[in-house]
Structure formats: structure tokens, C-alpha cells
Amino acid sequence: MINLTRKAMLAAALALPLAGLGATAEADTRVYTLTTAGTGGTYYPVGVALATLAKIHLQNAHGIDMSAISSAGSGENTVLLRENQAQFAIMQGLFGLWAREGSGALEEAGPQENMRAVAQLWPNVEHFLLHTSLVETGTAVDMNNLTGRGFSIGARNSGTEHSNRFLFNNFGLDYESWDIVFQGFAPSIDTLINGGIMGVNINSGIGVGTVTRARAQMGDNITLLSVTDEELERFDGGTGLYFHITIPGGTYPGIDDDIISIAQPNFLAVNADVPEEDVYLFTRTIYENLGFLCNIHPATCDMSLDNAMAGLPLPLHAGAARFYEEAGLTIPDNIAPVD
């Protein structure tokens, strides 16, 4: 859970009211907040790009403004949506599943009835980085060699921490025997480069800058592990959420061959109370400007209407569903809007 100090700081910084859907700079303007994750990953730059689209295309024409903020990731974003300190959020599919069921890291909080889905954004790829001195097979099973060694599991209460625990528990890794540190992506890479830890998992879009930096500075001393079919099955734990994905050779310095890893979907979530028209206009703006997003970050380059609803873990917001139906798409029953 986010602490009271951080909540107070967010409330002051964002100037969000206790009532209503978002801050209103003027009577006819709705100002929404989109929460992302740490600045060292993919969520933040893509979130800034999405908010920029809203400012450019919707602020003057429709009175819709938006700002993107950094956060600790999916775990904190769930709280910010629930408490209406943010109205939109980029989240891991795993957290959407937990939000719908009231399970996993959200078991104590219960089902998040206020959360709806807008769109699948890009695959959240697991980049398992391990010091090469510990590598034997080059696959995920080598993480068993971390006993007594330092590993960054992610910032506390972040989506990275919770999804890592989910994956490692499913896999049967004895990560309690590791020297665990709690750091975001950029600090984790700094510690890795300086020898303070021997491994980290950067779960982000393909081409994430922190992995590029690790390889550029450590070279062959750091290995990006692959994941076999059997390892994928163990990681997934029967949820069907995770899938294989290819990290093309040449994506990161000195890695010329393709690496087969795993991924889950990232998606855009929204508070159910945001008006249908506003979500409709924002969804339409996103898909009318996919080229802009692709130019901002390569992780978004595969976004299309064809995969807009692929793997969504929550019911669609009525505004997003309206756009997809107008575009000629059929809404799957398991994510149809609910009252």
C-alpha cells in the first residue's frame, strides 16, 4: 500500500479534488491523471505520449486534458485508481486479473469494482538478466544459482515486485535464499553494474533503455536469459496469461541472436466513473495516432485495432467498447461492458 506521506504528496502535487472525476482547470475542462511506473521503464514515456495526444487533440476541441505521472507501478496504480487520485493507468495484465478476482496481491483489498479496460498496449517482456559467471544453460533455470547472491526484485509494492514473486513462486525458485534488494529499474541497473547484485528482471517493452545500458557497460559479463517451453509453463502457473515472445537479435548491444523470453500484456485501465464520451474520444485518438506512439517508443509499434482487445483481463469501459464496435470489431463476451 502507498503510505500516507506519498498519498499526501500526490494529492498536493496533482491538485485533484476529493469529489468529481479529476481536477478542473476551468469549468468546461476535465483534467485527468494517467499513472504509469518508474521513469526507467516503458510505462512512463508511453504514458507521457498518451497524455500528450490528449492535450493536442482533445483539450481545445473537447475540453479534455491529461497529465502523466510516475509511480511505483501496477500495485500503486491500483490504489490510485481506487482512491480516484488517478483516472487512467498503465498496468500489467496480471494485476488486471487480480483486480477482477480479488486475488493475488489484491486478495486483501478484494475485487476492484471500479476498474475497466480501455486497450491492450504492448507485451510486457521479462528480461531476466544474470551475471555471466552464474550462467550454465543460458535459460531461466540458471536463476537457481543466485543462492546467497544479490538480486533486485523491484521497488516495494511495484508491479515488478509482485509479478516477480508470482513468477518465481510458480517456477519453484527459492528466492528467499537470495540477497533481495528493492529497487526500480534504473537503480537496479546501477547496482548491477557496480557489482552490488548479480541479477535483475526488467519487465518492460522490447528495447528498454535500462537493458541497453547494462549490456553497453557490462558487455558479456551480463547475460539475457532465454525461456524454454517447459519453463514458460512453470512460470505461467496455469493462468494462460504468459506467452513466448522473441527479442530480435540486435535489439541490445552485443546480442546478435534472437532471445526467446516470455511476456504478459500491458493494458490501459480506467476508472469506471469516467464519462463514456471522454473514454470514447480518448480511445479513438489513440488509434488514430499510432504512428506518433511508435515514434515515441518502439514497444508500441505493434499496436493495432486487430490486437486492441487481445488478452484484456477486465471488462471494457463502455466508451472504449463503443469505439471498437463503430470500428467493426466484435466485443468478446468475457470483456463485455458491465453496469
Express each pLDDT in 95-151 by its tens digit: 999 999 999 999 999 999 999 999 999 888 999 999 999 999 999 999 999 999 999
Q: Give the domain 124-264 fold.
A: D-Maltodextrin-Binding Protein; domain 2 (3.40.190)
Average pLDDT (319-335) is 97
What stretch of H or E contains 131?
A: strand 115-131
Per-residue pLDDT tens for 253-293?
999 999 999 999 999 999 999 999 999 999 999 999 999 99
Least confident of 9-13, 164-168, 261-265, 328-332: 9-13
Highest averaged pLDDT of the listed ranges 20-24, 179-183, 240-244: 179-183
Which residues, listed in sequence order, are joined to residue 167 by a DSSP beta bridge?
none
**For residue 19, what is the enclosing H or E element?**
none
Annotation: CATH topology of 4-122+266-335:
D-Maltodextrin-Binding Protein; domain 2 (3.40.190)
Distance of CA 141 to the CA centre of its chain: 25
Q: Which pLDDT score, from 0 to 100, does residue 339 have?
A: 75
H or E segment and range at residue 183: none
What's the confidence (pLDDT) of residue 205? 86
Start and end residues for every CATH 3.40.190.10 domain found in the chain: 4-122+266-335, 124-264
pLDDT (tens digit, 9 = 90+) per residue, 289-314? 999 999 988 889 989 999 999 889 99
- At residue 68, the pLDDT reads 98
H/E stretch holding 234 reads: helix 229-236
**What per-residue string of b and e applies to 146-169 under the rule 16 or more CB within 10 Å gives b?**
beebbbbbbbebbbbbbbbbbbbe
In this prediction, residue 40 has a pLDDT band, given cuts at 50, 70 and 90, of confident
Per-residue model confidence as pLDDT tens digits over 172-225: 999 999 999 999 999 999 999 999 999 999 998 898 999 999 999 999 999 999
Q: Is the pLDDT of residue 41 over 90?
A: no
